């Protein structure tokens, strides 16, 4: 049961990151449209953060799979 909960949690994290990235892009486009300037540092920082989070989550999942802690293939 715990594995199922962890898997659902990681999938929720991925969905939230994708949703937040889409919202961020829309917000940046609106800011650019209103001000005419691009917040390049903010954009780079945001995507570095979200990419790092996804890579960390993937690393955790990979280590669980190596140790046999995930039955992901058998569930599908």
Of residues 6 and 26, the one with the higher pLDDT is 26
DSSP string, the chain: -HHHHHHHHHHHHHHHHHHHHHHHHHHHHHHHHHHS---HHHHHHHHHHHHHHHHHHHHHHHHHHHTT---HHHH-
* pTM, two decimal places: 0.72
Is 18 part of a structural domain of the chain? Answer: yes
- Which tokens is 25 given? 């892009």
Domain boundaries, position 62: 2-67
Q: What is the pLDDT of residue 15?
A: 94
- In tens, the pLDDT along 4-16 reads 676 788 889 999 9
Q: What is the pLDDT of residue 74?
A: 47
Segment 18-44 mean pLDDT: 95
Is 11 part of a structural domain of the chain? Answer: yes
Is 43 part of a structural domain of the chain? Answer: yes
Is 39 part of a structural domain of the chain? Answer: yes
pLDDT at 72 over 80: no
Whole-number Å distance between alpha carbons of 21 and 27: 10
Is 15 part of a structural domain of the chain? Answer: yes
Is 12 part of a structural domain of the chain? Answer: yes
Is 33 part of a structural domain of the chain? Answer: yes
Is 75 part of a structural domain of the chain? Answer: no
Please count the structural domains in the chain: 1
């Amino acid at each position: 049961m715990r594995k199922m909960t962890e898997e659902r949690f990681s999938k929720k994290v991925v969905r939230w990151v994708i949703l937040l990235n889409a919202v961020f892009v829309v917000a940046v486009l609106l800011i650019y449209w209103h001000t005419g300037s691009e917040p390049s540092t903010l954009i780079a920082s945001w995507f570095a953060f979200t990419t790092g989070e996804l890579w960390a989550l993937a690393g955790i999942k990979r280590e669980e799979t190596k140790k046999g802690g995930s039955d992901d293939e058998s569930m599908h």
